[in-house]
Structure 1
Amino acid sequence: MQILGIPIDGFILISVINSYCLMHHAHFGFSVLPIYLKNDIPFHTVTFNTLLRGIFAENKVKDAVQLFKKLVRDKICEPDEFMYATVMNVLSKRGHTQKTLSMLRLMGQGSIMPDIYFYNIVIDSLCKDRNLDGAINLLNEMKQKGIPPDIVTCGSLIDGLCKLGLWEKVKTLFSEMVNLNIYPDVCTFTTMIDGLCKEGKVKDAEEIMKHMVEKGVEPNTITYNAIIDGYCLRGQVDRARRIFDIMID
């Protein structure tokens, strides 16, 4: 291109970096960075977000985190919401909860203040680790900062509480949701129903299903299957068949 006199711009360089990353050769993508400097082309957040995604695709989590922190520390490129989302989502999905939390803290030290989306990532990760105390502490921190929870926040917490069998706390959170005008969706109801069935509290689960129907939330196949499995595990095949008949009707 240079021989032909075609100017190089940031868009072209990002395309080259992306191509290397798609081929799982992110290290070649780094070789493009000096071309930015040579041609006085400013770095863009998309440049490094592309590299981060490429590094994660090669399962090099440590390298990706080190790159991100270097960008912040050396002020090479201030991360935006998309870069934080890329890193935090991958860390959370791969079980690196403490690293995800540290990213939230790092974000709070910069010019971008974490919103509900980023808090939800960490809360969900903490709940999956069964660290409900940490998740609830983060929920309280959100509230103190004027960030109200949403259906995603409550869904993660209810799932975590159900798995630990903390039904009184589930009831308290459920009531708080209603008071905040956060109405449980089919996923939230199904999470509660599935948890109760696994605890052998199938009648309670069926009562919740009746309540969700009264509130205009239609049970799905997963909801019905949870109750059917619950009755079958207790040897109550007739009741399981009754629920099955309701489902197919």
Structure 2
Amino acid sequence: MAATSVVFRKFDGAVKPTELVEQIWEAELQRRACVARGASEEEGISLPLLPSQATTQDAASKTPKGASTPGGTKSTKKKAKEITVTFHSEVRANVPQATPEMQKLVEQAKDLFAEEFEEEFASQVSKKGGYRLTLMADEAGDLCSFIMYKTNPSEKCLSIAHVAVPSTKRRLGYGRRIMRWLIQYAKKQPRSQIAFLALSSMPGSIKFHQSLGFKKSGNKLTKKEDEPVKEKDIEYAEGQVYMTYPIKGGKR
């Protein structure tokens, strides 16, 4: 390495390096980093311009405050509540869809279901399975989340079976938004048919469901018959908790 002379200037009685020296030192640090990883000294390094060589273009090329960068940041990502979404309820997923856009949305839901759950998608949304499917899509027509549920009028219960959000859209509020949609849907139904919502929560989701208004319960509906059973008869997965949401308003 060739010797480098460093020039200092006096400023208010203290010795400080000039701005140019600081830029040269930054370039030297870059050079050393390249050498350390086996790259040539010229790779990706540009020496700083002298002040007289700087142009107004340099200043204009700086990223404006708040501008997005590749990959985005927390501050540039839009939350679910800021994005216009469309809810497609009562989707019959086992039949060809009326439009290519809806067919794409259903296929995305099928793929997501296969990634997250062990059950068979087609059997869940069949007439025999009895579960209803609601899809939530963004402005581009891509899936943001889906929810599967069924109603049991004899028990006045709406039972939630599955909720899922694509991995690229998680932690943005889409799961909460579709849950709130279903709660509002339930409140619009006659109380003679739906008096509460019910679901089975794993440990990591308990606080999330509690924040929506769900509470732990000692009873549970069986998966096949949708008949209430006692706590001692329930076979939970490890840490699994049965939770309910009582509807206080709505139609009578």
TM-score calculated relative to the size of structure 2: 0.24
TM-score calculated relative to the size of structure 1: 0.24
Point out which structure has higher relative CO (alpha carbons under 8 A, 6+ apart): 2
Higher helix proportion (structure 1 or 2): 1
Higher strand proportion (structure 1 or 2): 2
